[in-house]
Amino acid sequence: MRTRLSICAGKRRYPSVEAAGTAAAKADIVLRAYRCDRCGQFHLTSRTKGKRIARPA
């Protein structure tokens, strides 16, 4: 499924997965970085449905 253009336009863009990860680490909630198929840069999302999340050991 493609990212809607209006969603992409409303989100902050990060040039690398490392930059997005740094911003996600500072957030109060769990965020995940993903590459946007519209702009080619990285955004953050809190959605985890359908994604494999590593369980804490």
Report in angstroms the alpha-carbon separations of 19 from 2, 3, 12, 47. 23, 20, 11, 19
Max Cα separation, the chain? 38
Mean pLDDT of 43-55: 77
Mean pLDDT of 28-37: 93
| Percent of the chain residues past pLDDT 70, beyond the cut | 84
The secondary element (H helix, E strand) that includes residue 4 is none
Which two structure tokens, joined as six digits, stand for 24? 């996600």
* pLDDT value for 3: 78
Q: Quick check: 11 and 43 in contact, CB under 8 A?
A: yes
Question: Is residue 12 very low, low, confident or very high in pLDDT (cuts 50, 70, 90)?
Answer: very high
* pLDDT value for 48: 75
Rounded to whole angstroms, the Cα distance separating 57 from 54 reads: 9
